[in-house]
Amino acid sequence: MTHAASIQASPDGERRPGAIGDRHLRLVAIVLALIGLGVASYLTYVHYEDIRPVCGLGGDCIKVQSSEWSKLAGIPVAVLGLIGYAIILASLFVPGEEALIAGALTSLVGFGFSAYLTYRELFTIDAICPWCVASAIVMTLLAIVTTTRLLLSPSDQRGALPYVG
């Protein structure tokens, strides 16, 4: 049974199947946020240590990282990604609707900006950085998962109750 099916199958009264679905979604989000955190940490590390990133699949990471879109208001986008993934990850361990909103908002912002950067890579910089594409994919999946949780998570997990997976 897929997550979506388990959520739709929620009976009116008991939201148990929905609750299981949400728990699965949360676990998926944690794994995705950890992957994103790893990618962003690596890109931040190579940025500050001035190291040539491992850049397979015919990519050109240096070209992308030397471009004017590698920074936002003077801050490397790798650092912004790191902060974004950290916020998303933290939100997954905090109970309440505010945390769901914070997670969804951060990942939607990340998705939007990643889409813009990928567009710049393809059409302006004319080079692809596989790490950046990986981050964009992870952020897209996180946006889907966190938005789904915001819409469908059971009410009994939205209060300020201890929230352990």
Binding site for other proteins (CB under 8 A): 12-13, 50-52, 62-63, 65-69, 71-74, 97, 101, 104-105, 108-109, 111-113, 116, 120, 124-126, 147, 150-151, 155
- The bridge status of strand 75-76 relative to strand 71-72 is antiparallel
CB of 115 to other proteins, least distance (A): 8
Residue number with CB closer to other proteins (30 or 109): 109
Residue from 116, 115, 44, 55 nearest 82 by CA: 44
If the CB atoms of residues 47 and 164 are measured against other proteins, the closer one turns out to be: 47
Angle at 8 (CA atoms; ends 3, 14), nearest 5 degrees? 100
- Minimal distance in Å, beta carbon 163 to other proteins? 18
Q: How far is CA 122 from the centre of its chain?
A: 21
